[in-house]
Amino acid sequence: MNDQTAMNSYRNQPDEEGRFGIHGGRFVAETLMPLILNVEKAWKESLTDQAFLDELNYYRKHYIGRPSALYFAERLTAHFGGAKLYMKRDELNHTGAHKINNVLGQALLAKRMGKTKIIAETGAGQHGVASATACALFDMECEVFMGAEDVERQKPNVDRMRLLGAKVHPVTSGTGTLKDAMNEALRYWVSNAESHFYIIGTAAGPHPYPAMVRDFQSIIGIEAREQILEAEGKLPDALVACIGGGSNALGLFHPFLDDESVAIYGVEAAGKGIETGDHAASLTGGVPGVLHGNRTYLLQDEDGQIKDAYSISAGLDYPGIGPEHAWLHETGRVKYVSATDEGALEYFRLCSRLEGIIPALEPSHALAFIGTMIGDMDKDQVVLMNMCGRGDKDLGAVLPILEKQGLL
């Protein structure tokens, strides 16, 4: 690729060292270095291996159920009274979220590398369930690391993983959430380096994971681009997706990054409000640092100690963000905004009542942001959001709150 294209496109990151601007990289212990170099090599080879791509496409179609629908949310659109709202229905995927898109890709890669043991970390449990599912399908062993607090918050997913044959390790170190689960998964990988493949669940971690996960998730945006052109005869005016580590968002955004007319919004979790300090908005409230194999924006104190993130949504409760988002933030191509617990809860209910779609708490954050801006847009404009997961897993956490507010 020559310098000209490099400067004129947002779509050709990272460089050979896995850098997105200053972000990304490979900040891992030496024990893991040979492994991630192997993963990178296998992944690059797979990109031109037609048999691999055919197999991936086969499972996408017949197992995940892709392409997922693009749905015009008519009643929410009427409710907002502004631009038309479309939803990319990745909550209809097998296992109920976008996570399976990435897991199938990585599991097939593991298979190609001759690995039969899988490690995964999980927050909301969606990535854990997707990993357990792929392991059942491909006859692999599955070890899932999940923060002890999340094991409580997302019990239905823990039960699903167990039924699927995975071993769930509750992690009690730190605050027992996603960051600690990732630490523990990395420790387990260091200890079982030769035999295991680590399927990271978001577009973060050491190179090549951020780019690889993005590419496996980009099927979302590739389909959405075609579908919206068919439905509306034009590109959308805005894209919106929620951000934990950033994989569903990048999956939607990446194929549109060079379409200048498309405004792009990533929605971080503002928890109880950015000003309270209890949030998970790494770009809004963090500074660049190095954790979990990459440089990116992190919630941390002035001495470089990582702070605990907070969000009602277990899937967004992470003090970092994928390095490509850090770069897209600095270049200004994507605008990063936030939505609170309260906003997410409101739209969790509203979307259920108006569309008959129970969204996961994560995309409820995207809806909450949309609620603040779509009403001011023109009626012939189009907003496309990623409905990246369904909310069944969240009923245990949400219903008591709605009940208390008398909203059921």
Partner 1 sequence: MRIAAAFEQAKAEDRAALGIFITAGDPDLETSKEILMGLPHQGVDFVELGMPFSDPMADGPSIQAASLRALKAGTKLRHVLEMAAEFRAAHPNVPLILMGYYNPIYIYGVDRFLDEAVSAGVDGLIMVDLPPEEDEELCLPARQAGLDFIRLITPTTDDARMPVVLANSSGFVYYVSITGITGTRSASADSIADAMARIRSFSALPAVVGFGIKTPEQVREAAMHADGVVVGSAVVDQLAASLDQDGRASASTVSATLALAKALAEGRHRQA
Ligand X SMILES: Cc1ncc(COP(=O)(O)O)c(C=O)c1O
For residues 295 to 314, the per-residue mask of contacts with partner 1, x marking binding by CB under 8 A and - elsewhere, is x--x-x-xxxxx--------
Question: Judged by CB under 6 A, which of 77, 126, 133, 175 binds ligand X?
Answer: 126
Toward partner 1, which CB reaches closer, 9 or 173? 173
Residues 346-385 that bind ligand X (CB under 6 A): 360, 362
Question: Judged by CB under 6 A, which of 135, 166, 220, 242 binds ligand X?
Answer: 242
Phi, psi of 42 (to 5 degrees): -65, -40
Contact 314, 244 (CB under 8 A): no
Q: Applying CB under 6 A, does 218 fall inside the site for ligand X?
A: no
Residue in the shown chain whose Cβ atom is closest to ligand X = 389
Question: Judged by CB under 8 A, which of 21, 25, 96, 205 binds partner 1?
Answer: 25
Q: Name the residue among 159, 202, 155, 162 with its Cα closest to residue 178.
A: 202
Q: Applying CB under 6 A, does 389 fall inside the site for ligand X?
A: yes
For residues 60 to 99, the per-residue mask of contacts with ligand X, x marking binding by CB under 6 A and - elsewhere, is -------------------------------------x--
Sheet with 293-298: list strands edge to edge: 19-20, 23-27, 293-298, 287-291
| 5-20: burial string, b at 16+ Cβ within 10 Å, e else | eeeeebeebbeeebbb
Q: Which stretch binds ligand X (CB under 6 A): 44-52, 167-175, 239-247, 286-294?
A: 239-247
Q: How far does CA 88 lie from the centroid of its chain?
A: 14
Q: Applying CB under 8 A, does 196 fall inside the site for partner 1?
A: no
Q: How far is the CB of 154 from ligand X (least distance, A)?
A: 9
Q: How far is the CB of 344 from ligand X (least distance, A)?
A: 11
Task: Tell me the sheet residues that pair with 117.
Answer: 141, 196
What is d(CA 370, CA 376) in angstroms, rounded to the nearest whole number? 10
Contact 146, 158 (CB under 8 A): yes
The site for partner 1 (CB under 8 A) is made up of 17, 25-35, 173-174, 179, 183, 186-187, 190-194, 287, 289-293, 295, 298, 300, 302-306
Q: What are the residues binding ligand X (CB under 6 A)?
A: 97, 123-124, 126-127, 202, 242-249, 315-316, 360, 362, 388-389
